[in-house]
Chains A and B, each alone.
Chain A
Amino acid sequence: MRWLLTPAVLVVAVFAAALSALLRYSVLEFVPGSLVTGGLTVANFTGIMSRQYLGAVWDTVLLSAATTALTLVASYPVAYVLARTPSARVRSALLVLTLAPFFTGAIVRTYAWVLVLGNTVVTWPIPMLFTPRGVLVGLVHFSMPTMILLLAAAISHVDPVYERAAASLGASPARVFRRVTLPLSMPGVVSGSVIVFAWTLSAFATPELLGGGRVKMIANVVRDLALDSFNWPGGAAFAVMALVVTLGLLAGVGRLTAIADRGP
């Protein structure tokens, strides 16, 4: 029966090989104008400890946190209606609208935002395209369908009896939501937030197209270093640093979630 593990072992081996290649490149000396690398060095890591590169990491973390918060706020009402509406027609319409973005590619959706944010369809009072605001809009839109589906699944598991009981005891709708619905739907809130935060950390196409080169997230910087500057060791070092930061952040989020699950 051990042979059944073979595919899993192969997959792990490929990932381990890729990761070890990345680690190896990150400590090899970059020789400008050449593909041939020099000896072992830590210069790639000291080189990326500049304001320019650390700023991209900071911007990425901020944009990911803002995207997660805004996506959650924008998605919850839609998910609530999706889970609770008695009308099959409304549910179907909402489901179709939620799923529709999955049937168009991320690039197509982002190009649509280029037109919308670029004062060609709407005239914005403040610049939107090629700013962090514009990138944020694109990231939230990209993340909403997944968040809505995760929240709707969680809310549908909250028995409406609890909400009715709270209301019958005099709780206002806002209090019912704050004290009953929201706490009981926390598994969906947490899983949705972690997923959106994690994938926004690695966002590439949205900041590439909506950022106009001015908004750089981690993946864009890795690409710039490796593909535009031909600095593969530098790109590898930055990717390793980003990996460590991402794992650290996700571990922190996991720890907070575990503490929240245990309760006070």
Chain B
Amino acid sequence: MLARLVVASLLALCLPVATAHAQSSLVVSVWGGNWKDTVERVIGKAFTAKTGTPVEFEVGGTIDRLAKARVAKGSPLVDITFTTSHVGRLYISDGLFAPLDMAKLPNAKEAAREAVRSEYQVGGWSYVYTIVYRPDLVKEEITKWSDLWKPSLKGKIAMPDFDPSHIITIAALMEGGNEATWQKGQERLKALKPSIVAFYSTDAQSQDLMKTGQAPVQVMLSVNAYHLQEQGIAVKLVQPKDYPGVVGIDCMSVMAGTTKADAAYQFINLALSKEIQTELAKALKAGPVNGGATVPAAFHGQPGIFLTPAEWKERAYIVNDEVRAKNLPAWREWFTANIVK
């Protein structure tokens, strides 16, 4: 009771300021750094030019923003939230997202079927977790997931410890299972343990490990690998021949209780247009969700870039969001106890 009283008092002190500030603007919640800069430059400016409504941003980590949204439930401080598709499930579980009225999103008709993640979430862009390596430090060519188990890669691999769902899913697929029957891949994953030199908790750590050569082979976000290439680090992204890369889709949702729902729909609809999707793909080095977007020729067929239904089907493995959200705590606990330690 005391906790609620103090939190309510603090919010009461803060809310009038925030509300007054954001009254005339559309407020978008998104990750910081390049994500926010790109959304602001590519979608925000075009939206303001078209509607006259300014856009403000609330930036933060995935869970920071979730925690804030929860505290402000019913009177959201933001109107639109960008988050990963499986974390979106947590928002949905607490009634923080409003169901999407697809009639107000005509551009969603052009979106890939895979991009409409639920009745609350529509994708903004896609990427893939795949194998990325430095050919100057790893002489043997890597072409498939099973190559990670080669003895020559002992002590060279890094992968995320905050979300092992990608490698757990791949190991399960290799043993004839999937994310729902992930236990099938446990023994195979244990065999990979000697090859892992480090686990990273952030994208920045992952990139540092690659730059310094501490971990020249990684299960890595394709977007980060393209970013490293831009910085002059010669990394190679693998389009695995045996099993697809594990896809991530960052989604947009309208917050339940927003008073600016119309503007929010206009923003999301604009973000789904061919033109904006083209710019987003160029800026983020991510895949557009609108197949009509024009992507630079060099990007065609690259990991994380899916332009046709056939490409989505052949080169993308999408983990079931609900299974992922439910299993992630168990996956992390098992992974930490058996692989990390």
Contact = CB atoms under 8 A, between A and B. Distances in A.
Contacts of B298: none
Contacts of A51: 337
A214 B212 CA distance: 19
A118 B212 contact: yes
A29 to B, nearest CB: 13
Interface in B177-222: 197-201, 205, 208, 212-214
A52 B337 contact: yes
B90 A209 contact: no
Contacts, number: 106
Interface string A212-234: 11101000000010111111001
A255 interface: no
B325 to A, nearest CB: 4
Contact of B63 (A20, A209, A227): A227
A120 B213 contact: yes
A16 B63 contact: no
Contacts of A18: 3
Interface stretch (A31-39, A75-83, A84-92): A31-39
A32 B330 contact: yes
Contacts of A13: 2, 6
B135 interface: no
A118 to B, nearest CB: 5
A33 B320 CA distance: 12
Given A130-B197, A213-B340, A34 B2 contact: no
B328 interface: yes
Interface in A1-56: 13-14, 16-18, 20-21, 24, 30, 32-36, 50-52, 55
B90 A34 contact: yes
Contacts of A36: 93-94
Contacts of A20: 2-3
A57 interface: no
B2 to A, nearest CB: 5
Given A24-B3, A120-B212, A228-B162, A213 B332 contact: no
A50 B338 CA distance: 13
Interface residues of A, number: 39
Q: Is the interface of B mostly helix, strand, loop or mixed?
A: helix
A99 interface: no
A35 B63 contact: no
Given A33-B325, A52-B341, A228 B163 contact: yes
A214 B205 CA distance: 14
Contacts of B208: 111, 114
A18 to B, nearest CB: 7
B89 interface: yes
Nearest to A55: B341
A132 to B, nearest CB: 12
Query: Counting chain A CB atoms within 10 Å of each CB, which of B63, B163, B214, B325 scores highest?
Result: B214
Nearest to B327: A32
B282 interface: no
Contacts of A24: 3
A214 B338 CA distance: 11
A261 B52 CA distance: 72
Interface in A190-227: 208-209, 212-214, 216, 224, 226-227
A116 B6 CA distance: 46
B212 A115 contact: yes
A35 B2 CA distance: 21
A44 to B, nearest CB: 12
Contacts of A16: 2
A36 B69 CA distance: 14
B214 A214 contact: no
A60 to B, nearest CB: 14
Contacts of B197: 130, 212
Contact of B3 (A17, A33, A213, A231): A17
A212 B212 CA distance: 14
Interface of B: 2-3, 5-7, 10, 61, 63, 66, 70, 87, 89-91, 93-94, 158, 161-163, 197-201, 205, 208, 212-214, 322, 325-330, 332-333, 336-337, 340-341
11 contacts: A17-B3, A32-B325, A34-B90, A52-B337, A111-B208, A130-B198, A212-B198, A227-B61, A228-B161, A228-B162, A229-B329
Given A32-B327, A214-B199, A228-B332, 20 more contacts: A14-B10, A18-B3, A24-B3, A32-B329, A52-B337, A55-B341, A111-B208, A114-B208, A118-B214, A120-B212, A120-B214, A212-B198, A214-B341, A216-B340, A226-B63, A228-B161, A229-B332, A230-B87, A230-B90, A231-B329
Closest 10 CB pairs of A and B: A213-B199, A33-B326, A17-B6, A212-B198, A34-B93, A229-B329, A21-B3, A213-B161, A33-B325, A35-B94
